[in-house]
């Protein structure tokens, strides 16, 4: 019985991952006016590439806290944000420089190293 419990616990802890909450318009505005580079990932909690991005975004958010803003918006919950940012496919990552100006857009899954590269190009120090 202990072995089964241990295996179930191991399975749960290795497959579970944190997800960023869906950012509000206020959070986006604060990030873009913070003087820090920002990436906004527009996706959905139900899309497979978006699910694969969730732990990467959570990790980057913690790793670069205070240096860059890493936000997620669920376009199924916030269709207005999807329209405002002209999202045609998900996931879409939009990078903003330290002045809050869009400098790069990517559609599809994006590796952590590539996100960091684009944040550095947008002003991450």
Give tens-digit pLDDT for 47-64. 999 999 999 999 999 999
69, part of any domain: yes
Residues 5-16: what's their mean pLDDT? 40
Query: What was the pLDDT predicted at 16?
Result: 39
Q: What is the pLDDT of residue 19?
A: 79
Q: Give the tens place of pLDDT for each residue, 77-119.
A: 999 999 999 999 999 999 999 999 999 999 999 999 999 999 9
Does residue 40 carry a pLDDT above 50?
Answer: yes
What is the percent of the chain where pLDDT is above 70?
86
Q: How many domains does the chain have?
A: 1
- Note whether residue 12 is domain-resident: no
5, part of any domain: no
The CATH number linked to 33 is: 3.40.30.10
Rounded Cα distance between 71 and 54, Å, is: 10
pLDDT at residue 7 tops 90:
no
**pLDDT exceeds cutoff 70 at 71:** yes
Instruction: Measure Cα distances from 44 to 19, 20, 121 in Å.
Output: 11, 12, 26
Nearest to 73 by CA among 50, 103, 102, 49: 50
pLDDT above 50 (res 14): no
Nearest 10 degrees: CA dihedral of 74, 80, 86, 88? 50
> What residues does 102 pair with on adjacent strands?
96
**Domain annotation covers residue 43:** yes
pLDDT of residue 6: 43
> Residue 103 belongs to what domain range?
19-121
């Amino acid at each position: 019985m202990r072995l089964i419990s241990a295996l179930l616990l191991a399975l749960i802890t290795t497959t579970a991952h944190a997800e960023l909450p869906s950012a509000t318009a206020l959070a986006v505005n604060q990030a873009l006016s913070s003087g820090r580079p920002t990436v906004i990932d527009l996706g959905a909690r139900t899309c497979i590439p978006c699910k694969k991005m969730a732990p990467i975004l959570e990790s980057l958010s913690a790793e670069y806290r205070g240096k860059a803003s890493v936000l997620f918006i669920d376009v199924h919950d916030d269709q207005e944000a999807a329209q405002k940012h002209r999202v045609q496919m998900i996931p879409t990552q939009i990078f903003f420089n330290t002045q809050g100006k869009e400098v790069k857009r990517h559609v599809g899954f994006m590796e952590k190293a590539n996100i960091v590269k684009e944040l550095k190009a947008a002003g991450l120090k």
